[in-house]
Amino acid sequence: MKRSTRAATAALALALPASLVLAACSGGGGGDQAAGDDNTLTVWTWDPAFNIYAMEEAEKIYQQDNPEFELEIVEVPWEDLQTRLTTIAQSQAWGELPDIFLMQNNAFQKNGINYPDLFSDLGDAGIDFSEFPDSVVAYSTLDGMNYGVPFDSGTAVTALRTDVLEQAGYSMDDFTDITWDTFIEQGKDVLAQTGMPLLSGIAGQSDLIVMMLQSSGASLFDDDGMPTIVDNDSLNAAIDVYAEMVDAGVYLEVNSWDEYVGSFVNGNVAGTQQGVWIVGSIQSAEDQAGLWGITNVPSLDGVTGATNYTANGGSSWAISSNANTELAADFLAATFAGSTELYDTILPGAGAVANWIPAGDSDVYAEPSEFFGGEPIFSEVVEYGSEVPSNNTGAYYYEGRDAVSAAITQIMNGADRDTALAEAQANVEFAMQ
């Protein structure tokens, strides 16, 4: 079995110009090589402990019926992968593409719109996209055609310290299927009785705001991809919630990712709200085993379409336009879109929670988590994922997100909200030109 070309490729990328790096990558398992080997696929992805591990396990499963099959996996950090795709598209060097590459969900629309020739349409891949949440499939759907197979879940959870809640007379049930108004009032009570805020986050970042938007099916962009930062009722409601929580002390602003994780791992706050991938960080606090619970997220009060479900993050596998398309499609259909065994393996092995809804019915997903009070949290998260509303992230999602983050910083420092949001919209419109 061929193994991953990892650190060597990363070092090469730093040492050579982009064109030479791309040529070197194709020589070490690029698209041209794959085209000449009917049993080998090349894959570009990142994170050895998560995405690469999942691909390696998928390879083993596919080899059970296809013993000659091999993957050539090249570790490419996300930022470098995006740069490579852009360079290939602009130079039209399609032969440098791998067969399969991983794409962050929030970047799919921009790449699909700007560089459609990077991708193969998966309409004939034999994949039942109804077995994935509509909200996740929407990320990689353009003009009614599917270009990605959803992989890891970004479904959001509210994770709380049950021992802290009990001190204040609450349980996880009191924080399930509630609105943000109720969350804030109960959070004030918990703070008064225990001295602990319920949530924390990095000051000036819009993660929580964006999650609130999606929970009501809203976005920073309209259906035509134009920014709707100004006069956006859901955005204004989300900012109101955020500001009230910070002012009340229910939400602790910190300065970095490390401080954010440390805030709940070290017991400075009683919980967090984030994509389910945060569970790995929570469980690093081994002394807190059995003291955590999870539930869904609060809904925005008075907002049309508001739900208790949202997401943050996640990624999807794409088949390139230079791929051994038939083999790549069959491989993905049989593994990431068809194998309970795969998801049963990578859940405990890497904490990779499936977007593939049938995975949630397996015995592994139904196993109780002792860390989270004996609850089957992973089957619950798969159910949450099926309820997340779809929204249009737009091709300029990251520009919109950054602009809103800057606006929130200004607003929290006393700036006029309308002025800050108008400036944010103007900045996105300028970037779109």
Residue 368 located in a structural domain = no
Nearest residue to 19 (alpha-carbon basis) of 104, 74, 83, 111: 83
Domain end among 361, 379, 397: 361
In this predicted structure, what is the pLDDT of residue 280? 86
Residue 1 located in a structural domain = no
User: Is 176 found in the same domain as 138?
Assistant: no
User: Is 332 found in the same domain as 260?
Assistant: no
User: Is 144 found in the same domain as 75?
Assistant: yes
User: Is 250 found in the same domain as 289?
Assistant: yes
User: Is 133 found in the same domain as 39?
Assistant: yes
In this predicted structure, what is the pLDDT of residue 37? 67
The rounded distance, in Å, linking the Cα atoms of 363 and 341 is 11
Q: Which CATH number characterizes residue 78's domain? A: 3.40.190.10
**For residue 310, which amino acid is it?**
T
Residue 317 located in a structural domain = yes
The rounded distance, in Å, linking the Cα atoms of 168 and 349 is 36
The rounded distance, in Å, linking the Cα atoms of 346 and 341 is 9
Residues of the chain with pLDDT under 70: 1-37
Extended beta strands in 145-301, E state = 145-146, 149-150, 156-161, 199-202, 251-254, 271-275, 292-295
User: Is 398 found in the same domain as 253?
Assistant: yes
Count other Cβ atoms within 10 Å, centred on residue 349: 14
CB burial of residue 339 (10 Å; 0-12, 13-18, 19+): buried
Per the CB < 8 A criterion, the answer to whether 207 and 312 are in contact is yes
Per the CB < 8 A criterion, the answer to whether 393 and 109 are in contact is yes
User: Is 270 found in the same domain as 165?
Assistant: yes
Residue 375 located in a structural domain = no
User: Is 70 found in the same domain as 54?
Assistant: yes
In this predicted structure, what is the pLDDT of residue 241? 97
User: Is 261 found in the same domain as 234?
Assistant: yes
In this predicted structure, what is the pLDDT of residue 348? 87
The rounded distance, in Å, linking the Cα atoms of 431 and 118 is 23
The total number of structural domains in the chain stands at: 2
In this predicted structure, what is the pLDDT of residue 225? 87
The rounded distance, in Å, linking the Cα atoms of 12 and 22 is 10
In this predicted structure, what is the pLDDT of residue 1? 40
Rounded to 5 degrees, what angle do the CA atoms 21, 24, 95 make?
95
Domain that holds residue 324: 7-154+313-361
In this predicted structure, what is the pLDDT of residue 27? 36
pLDDT tens for 311-320 read: 998 899 999 9
User: Is 17 found in the same domain as 165?
Assistant: no
pLDDT tens for 420-430 read: 999 999 999 99
User: Is 43 found in the same domain as 174?
Assistant: no
Residue 44 located in a structural domain = yes
Residue 334 located in a structural domain = yes
Residue 380 located in a structural domain = no
Residue 28 located in a structural domain = yes
User: Is 96 found in the same domain as 13?
Assistant: yes
